[in-house]
Amino acid sequence: MESSPLAPARLFSCAGQVAVVTGAATGIGRAAAEALAAAGARVVLAGLASSKPERAAAGLVGQGADAIGVVCDVTDAAALAGLVDTTVRRFGRIDTVVANAGAALDDPGADAMEMLDRMFDLHVRAVARLADRALPVMAGGGGGAFIVMSSLSGLRGNRLLSGYGVTKAANAQLARNLAVQWGSRGIRANAISPGVIATDFARPITDDPSAAPARLAKTPLGRFGTPAEVAGAVVWLASPAGAFVSGQNIVIDGGTLVSD
């Protein structure tokens, strides 16, 4: 049965792929990079200099993966172009992109419009620029998976994460548009919308003795998610198992969205 195309080792294999993950040094991005490498992909981990993507890549290399780290501020168009160029020079192709870099900058004490502009640049313009650079390369190699990390906040009304939710809703729509625009060239574009995942990013919720119980009460599974549970969806979308999935927004939230 191991030779069957339905065997998990083949159905969920990313062997031979080259994957680029932004925001890859920590949290969900780090888990996605590790999972793709474990599935056989060569991985480029991109992140801000402060996150030390080279160190994260070295950790994967120490586990036997073929990986490199690239310092990249995704809001810098030249840096994004350099990320794609570096990947092609090193590995010759791109098969999967995980546009994961993001930040929640909503702050009651800050200028709301300024924060909205910054998050739109990070969650929407940067993803569009990355697609503009990477998708022609991917299409030239026969296609691939472009995965946008959106958020449950983009599917619900938000009391505090207003600009974050607005820009995450926008990047999920961008994924749908890319699926239509690039499908004929073999590109599958999808969004993933995690709920509260136990990472440093989510600590204002998970570590708050008043906020955490309230959120858990609204989550049918009664717990927070793990980065590995989001990374599993990334591998699924990048692998043969996800080869007919495009234009979707995969919600990974323990049932929060559908809870009454």
Give me the CATH number covering residue 182. Answer: 3.40.50.720
Question: Does 119 map to a domain?
Answer: yes
Residue 117, pLDDT score: 96
Say if residues 91 and 14 touch (Cβ distance below 8 Å).
Answer: no
Q: What is the pLDDT of residue 198?
A: 94
User: Structural domain tally of the chain?
Assistant: 1
Residue 105 falls within a domain, yes or no?
yes
Q: Confirm whether 132 is domain-assigned.
A: yes
Q: 3 lies in a domain? A: no
Residue corresponding to tokens 């449950």? 152
Q: Between helices 27-38 and 227-238, what is the axis angle to 10°?
A: 50
Among the listed residues 73, 70, 100, the one whose alpha carbon sits nearest the alpha carbon of residue 85 = 70
Is 147 among the domain residues? yes
Within a domain: 47: yes
Catalytic positions are: 164
Mind giving me the DSSP string for the chain?
-TTSTTSHHHHT--TT-EEEEES-SSHHHHHHHHHHHHTT-EEEEEE-GGG-HHHHHHHHHHTT--EEEEE--TT-HHHHHHHHHHHHHHHS---EEEE--------TTS-HHHHHHHHHIIIIIHHHHHHHHHHHHHHHTT-EEEEEE--GGGTS--SS-HHHHHHHHHHHHHHHHHHHHHGGGTEEEEEEEE-SBSSGGGHHHHT-TTHHHHHHHT-TT-S-B-HHHHHHHHHHHHSGGGTT--S-EEEESTTTTT--
Burial class (CB in 10 A: 0-12, 13-18, 19+), 28: buried
Is 258 a domain residue? Answer: no
* pLDDT string in tens for the chain (260-residue length): 667 889 999 999 999 999 999 999 999 999 999 999 999 999 999 999 999 999 999 999 999 999 999 999 999 999 999 999 999 999 999 999 999 999 999 888 788 899 999 999 999 999 999 999 999 999 999 999 999 999 999 999 988 788 999 999 999 999 999 999 999 999 999 999 999 999 988 898 899 888 899 999 999 999 999 999 999 999 999 999 999 999 999 999 999 999 97
Task: Count Cβ atoms within 10 A of the Cβ of residue 21 and give its class: 0-12 exposed, 13-18 middle, 19 or more buried.
Answer: buried
Residue 255 lies in a domain: no
Measure the CA–CA gap between 86 and 73, rounded to whole angstroms. 14
* List of residues 6+ apart from 50 with CB closer than 8 A: none
Domain residue limits at 129: 8-197+207-250
In the structure encoding, which two tokens stand for residue 250, read together? 């995969």
Phi, psi (degrees; rounded to nearest 5) at 80: -65, -45
